[in-house]
Amino acid sequence: MYIAMNRFRVVPGYEEAFEAIWRGREGRLAEMAGYIEFHMLKGPKAEDHTLYASHTVWESFEHFQAWTKSEQFRAAHAKAGENRGKVEYLSGPHFEGFEVIIHEDRSGARKADAA
């Protein structure tokens, strides 16, 4: 398994606009082989920002890479420029990718993936 995350530091007062943009985005992930799930996470508030993270789970790093090179990826990000000025960020998104080495499901069963 592979988890891909982007962290966003949204300036106070722009949270509603940020969330509305994400709610209105056309989802294309489900069209991709190896896609498992997506979450948009809202984290803690600091004085200068609210932390958000997009979180996708893939069967493998190779599936995630295929997404980043796909027509679906280009289509999902095509309107990003239209949102300039609607939300203010401290900095651009910060990507973090993780290979899952241990997975425990809701029944407590653990699976170790070879790294």
Q: What is the pTM of this model?
A: 0.85
pLDDT per position as a tens digit, 61-95 = 999 999 999 999 988 877 766 767 788 999 888 99
Residue whose tokens read 């699976």: 111
Q: Classify the C-alpha dihedral 77-82-6-43 as positive or negative.
A: negative
Contact in structure between 96 and 7 (CB atoms under 8 Å)? yes
What's the first-to-final CA gap in the chain, in angstroms? Answer: 10
Q: What is the DSSP string of 48-86?
A: S-EEEEEEEEES-HHHHHHHHTSHHHHHHHTTGGGGBTT
pLDDT per position as a tens digit, 29-39 = 999 999 999 99
